[in-house]
A and B are shown apart, each in its own frame.
Chain A
């Protein structure tokens, strides 16, 4: 994977030194909060309900063991011994003290990490398929492009004061695991008729209060044009995007109000103007970055022990059935480590768990770890011969929950337990739903089901694209939860439909249970997933399950 050059290192160190002085000036009173706020946000520092929060970028979700250990060290030294992995492949610390933050940033710089542009109206952390470089259905590892975009967007002088935040996601695979259609720019690697790799460029997707599925701006963009084309898009948006209304400032609204054709015209014109300025330096740089993402030296070993262990140990078999994905190389598997133990906070890992995962990556995973937008940790390259040992170590660290893709593998934003913007809590709802399905012991029978919970309309918990989405609101001073159904965040992205009136905090978990057990009666056969059943039957039968009393009233 990519390691910092002297230039990256010097840049990040200089930024830490700047921020250290800014913090000093804030503490000694020379800067007011209004003056300091944009500076701290540029460096990922928020002020939340109970404390500051530091959001650290994990670029395209990739970490090496040394970085993961440093995240554990930071959690122990300056926080409360844990970190929260987010839906944009970042990690958040919930309890830093203001005067410690420069030291935390310095500690990040020591391992080639930073918190730059994890907030503010800039281009945010570039996210990527968490199976990048390992997935069987991939054209090319998209992380080289993501790293090129990171370097280009970091401190880009034209794009530090955009109308609003700007998020880019990239995937190299046919199956979209990066939610590209819900990003400001989504990049899907495809091949043209001649077989050359390039990108389908999607623009104007997003969730939040006005959810929109991204639209195809360019059906095929040659790889070499990527940087100038992205620059053209952001440049057009920077001038055209609305600054008069925060809620209409994202590019999805710009595209919606101006029409895709006008945006296309403007982007192509801007692209034609700036393309000649890209004389090949970016491509030389990309070639260097691509070399840094060369695949690891895969081993060739027998997998007999693995097959025997699967037969002998039902718990291990269950874990391999749910938590492994197909690797592009024979004999290897992609391991998803669930950070969703039943009843625990989705995405929270203790420092001890981080160290265990770092050790496993070092011993059995070719030194690679990934953070997924689904708030789990991935060991992308594990030989099947080593899976028994990996599983044993994960069990020891309470990390062997076999629930990837199931009902308890819930995405949840921090909600009103931490976030100052939240209108209701999300974490306790996620905890209760997972605990309930674990008691019922039916989540394996239910099969693939994505439940996603947001604690406010901003939709950090991606509720719009959950098969079952839950949105927490404040209704007259009481927490209230709305259900949406039929959302999908993959290559067939769909915004979920609202089922009806919301539920109180006490009613929401029984409502979800009703919905899911009701689905078991509605499905055509065991192979039909919740989403497929919903698509086949539509909202009505699910509505009848959710609101039984009303159904009777209507029938009468």
Chain B
């Protein structure tokens, strides 16, 4: 039986800064995951990933990450993706400091 498609977001690292970014519906890269486009259709997700990967001058290593719909927008479902929205746990560095 084919696996059911779970919702995804497209994420990557910004080329210059190297930090985590997510692709929005408006084709921009955001540093707030909640602003990302939540992809619920597999064919559409694959197409969006190809588009994202072609933007070599802006990002590196784009991939589809599992996500779920939350009160303010997409939220991570796995701890790795959750850490990427925040930064490391040993210092208040990264997004937890920059976005607050």
Contact = CB atoms under 8 A, between A and B. Distances in A.
Interface of A: 26-29, 32-33, 47-52, 80, 94-99, 345, 348, 416-418, 425, 427-428, 431, 474, 477-479
A27 B15 CA distance: 8
Contacts of B94: 50-51
Nearest to B57: A29
Nearest to A430: B90
Nearest to B77: A477
B33 interface: no
A431 to B, nearest CB: 7
Interface stretch (B2-10, B37-45, B67-75, B80-88): B80-88
Nearest to B62: A33
Most buried by A among B57, B61, B80, B83: B80
B16 A47 contact: no
A50 B90 contact: no
Given A431-B90, A477-B78, A477-B79, A50 B16 contact: no
Contacts of B60: 33, 47
Interface in B1-51: 13, 15-20
A418 B61 contact: no
B61 A50 contact: no
Given A33-B61, A97-B18, A47 B88 contact: no
A51 B17 contact: yes
Q: List the 3 closest A-B pairs by CB distance, nearest first.
A: A417-B88, A52-B18, A51-B18
A48 B13 CA distance: 8
A95 B80 CA distance: 18
A477 B15 CA distance: 28
Classify the secondary structure of B's interface with A: loop
Contacts, number: 73
Given A49-B80, A50-B94, 14 more contacts: A27-B57, A29-B57, A33-B61, A47-B60, A50-B95, A80-B93, A95-B93, A97-B17, A99-B16, A345-B91, A417-B90, A418-B88, A428-B90, A431-B90
Contacts of A474: 79-80
B90 A33 contact: no
16 contacts: A27-B16, A27-B57, A28-B57, A50-B19, A50-B20, A51-B18, A98-B17, A345-B91, A416-B79, A416-B83, A417-B83, A417-B89, A418-B88, A427-B88, A431-B90, A474-B79
A115 to B, nearest CB: 16
B14 to A, nearest CB: 9
B80 A416 contact: yes
A99 B89 CA distance: 26
Given A32-B56, A50-B94, A425 B15 contact: no
A454 B61 CA distance: 24
Contacts of B15: 26-27, 98
Contacts of A428: 89-90
A29 B90 contact: no
A49 B79 contact: no
A32 B79 CA distance: 30
A227 B63 CA distance: 44
A276 B93 CA distance: 56
A99 to B, nearest CB: 6
Nearest to B16: A98
B98 to A, nearest CB: 10
B37 to A, nearest CB: 21
Contacts of B84: 49-50
Most buried by B among A32, A50, A431, A478: A50
A96 B17 CA distance: 8
Contact of A50 (B56, B57, B79, B88): B88
A189 B71 CA distance: 64
Most buried by A among B16, B87, B90: B90
Nearest to B97: A80
B16 A97 contact: yes
Given A32-B56, A33-B60, A478 B18 contact: no
A123 to B, nearest CB: 27
Contacts of B16: 27, 97-99
Contact of B20 (A49, A417, A425): A49
